Chain A
Amino acid sequence: GGIITQTPKFLIGQEGQKLTLKCQQNFNHDTMYWYRQDSGKGLRLIYYSITENDLQKGDLSEGYDASREKKSSFSLTVTSAQKNEMAVFLCASSTISNERLFFGHGTKLSVL
């Protein structure tokens, strides 16, 4: 079996700060995803990547950058944290055929 590790688990930032979230997977999956989950709004796709060095924008990419420098890792940067922002960021990975999706435990973001 494999695992997806997200770091950090909790992230507290200041308004305007640039914040980076990291995700590592050892499934050897091709595709990786970053989702944002807000209360009452479900999961919204920020970025995804189908292979190393590939980046595809999701529905919520504005305000974020992403980087897939290695097959096993996918990082997400909040370019300028918004005051009172609170959300959970979930990283996931799957095979290229999307047969099964696996999630990390999430990073909970709070902005003061």
Chain B
Amino acid sequence: GQQVQQSPASLVLQEGENAELQCNFSTSLNSMQWFYQRPEGSLVSLFYNPSGTKQSGRLTSTTVIKERRSSLHISSSQITDSGTYLCEGTGNTRKLIFGLGTTLQVQP
């Protein structure tokens, strides 16, 4: 089965609302990353976060590696935040495991 569960699968927000995206892994991990995929397909790394909390502007990532989970919080969402958010984990095998993503749509 799928080793990475992302929730929700899709989310529609009104501009200004906050979002909480979750990522849960079924295997042990050494590190975690969050990516943003633009509507045209290119991927941008948001956070490399093996543990703890990191913040960048309106985005906050919290990883609890022992519990195999990570979250991405988006505050005061903007229309330009629309796209797909992917989480990725790296385990001892060094193979990277991706979730299916959360598709976010922010409406005016």
**Interface, chain A (partner B; CB < 8 A):** 31, 33, 35, 37, 40-43, 45, 48, 50, 58, 88, 90, 92, 98-106, 108
Contacts and interface: CB of A to CB of B under 8 A. Distances in A.
A77 to B, nearest CB: 21
Interface of B is mostly: strand
A90 B48 contact: no
Given A42-B101, A43-B86, A98 B94 contact: yes
Contacts, number: 49
Contacts of B90: 98
Interface residues of B, number: 20
Contacts of B41: 37, 88, 105-106, 108
Nearest to B30: A98
Interface of A is mostly: strand
B42 A103 contact: yes
A28 to B, nearest CB: 17
B96 A101 contact: yes
B33 A101 contact: yes
A87 B95 CA distance: 21
14 contacts: A33-B96, A40-B100, A41-B100, A42-B98, A42-B99, A98-B31, A99-B48, A100-B33, A101-B88, A103-B35, A103-B44, A104-B42, A105-B41, A105-B42
Contacts of B48: 99-100
- Residue from B43, B48, B88, B99 with most neighbouring chain A CB atoms (10 Å): B43
Contacts of B96: 33, 45, 98, 101
